[in-house]
Amino acid sequence: MALQRIFAMGGGGFSMEPDNPLLDDCLISLARKKRPRVCFVPTASGDAEAYAEQFEVAFAGERAETSVLRLFSRDQEDLREFLLGQDVIYVGGGSTANLLAVWRTHGLPEILAEAAGSGVVLAGISAGMNCWFEASVTDSFGSSLAPLHDGLGFLGGSSCPHYDGEERRASTLRALIAEGFPPGYAADDGCGLLFEDGTLVDAVSSRPGADGYRVELTSEGVVERPLGATYLGRS
């Protein structure tokens, strides 16, 4: 079995920072070859075509060999063969709950687990961060934030993207953990967390000050511990 690597981004990347490629460049550097095959999965946005086009503009050409997996108008008959042939699977943002429901209908969780075990790098932003964890904070159920408990569980505990970028993200996660929600990781916009075989090994950022956090309940209450993300640009 190859090392399972997941790069979870709280925000940023080509869709949020189109003029700042640092996070996406970091992701590409994790692939097993110089010009990797990168598959974008926009399920959480309902396969929004504009989103897929943004991805193609950002990645196609010298940077990567690109493809898009659409499940609402599916044109890939053998999903296993297609996904195991990638070097990086990059999951876009949107509704975490809808993403999970559609993926399960098409049998993706088992295929993605096999892909990760074969050395394919799994990655994503926002919902594409949440999906890999056991639980997450999401706006999938309306305008207010809510807990989601049925993530894929490739990573233990909970996740919360956009930690500094959206009002109430931080306070909601802290309140949920105080009530018994699983401890976990939060990431600011512009922060990426790298996990290897389920263990956090690195935190990086595309802008100074963006960070990741370990958030958990202790005898002293909910503690938020900054991870000290390394800025990928010039200091």
Dist CA 140 CA 142 (whole Å): 6
10 Å Cβ neighbour count for 151? 23
Tokens of 115: 């892909």
Assess whether 73 carries a catalytic annotation: no
Comparing C-alpha atoms, which of 143, 63, 156 is closest to residue 40? 63
Assess whether 162 carries a catalytic annotation: yes
Dihedral angle over CA of 123, 128, 131, 135, nearest 10:
110
Q: Which amino acid is at 160?
A: C
Q: Which among 67, 126, 136, 158 is annotated as catalytic?
A: 126
Q: Which among 15, 45, 95, 162 is annotated as catalytic?
A: 162
Distances in Å between the Cα of 186 and the Cα atoms of 86, 146, 191, 216 are 27, 15, 9, 11
Cβ partners under 8 Å of residue 166, min gap 6: none
Dist CA 175 CA 221 (whole Å): 10
Comparing C-alpha atoms, which of 57, 76, 46 is closest to residue 15? 57
Q: Which residues are catalytic?
A: 126, 162
